[in-house]
Amino acid sequence: MKLITCIIRPYKLDEVRDALTVAGASGITLSEVRGFGRQKGHTELYRGAEYVVDFLPKLKIEVVVSDELLDGVLDAIQQAAKTGSVGDGKIFVSTVDQVMRIRTGELDADAL
């Protein structure tokens, strides 16, 4: 099993969620986060004063999938979140050793 963590632009959420559903992912965790990478933030003007916005709003999506679904889910996220501009985000993949459903005690693939 793999844990896929992706950081995306907020307005791409609906497209990514739909793509994950089609790819077979059965549940996601969503967090609102702030950060920067190559974008390095930007400057804004507020009441005549210019200030730097270092941390940009992003969304972090986490989903656990079986090894068989991994390539399809990665491709679905990449295609749905891509705009072609700097700041589209990143996808991280980690190995999950064990999953347990709290309510029933089911383990691993049965718990997904």
pLDDT value of residue 50:
72
The CATH code belonging to domain 2-111 is 3.30.70.120
What pTM was estimated for this model as a whole?
0.84
What is the C-alpha to C-alpha distance for residues 72 and 46, in angstroms, rounded to an integer?
Answer: 44
Strands 29-35 and 2-8, by their bridges, are unpaired
| φ, ψ at 56 (rounded to 5°) | -95, 145
Average pLDDT over residues 68-95: 94
Which tens digit of pLDDT belongs to each residue from 22-78?
Answer: 999 988 999 999 887 776 666 666 677 776 777 788 999 999 999 999 999 999 999
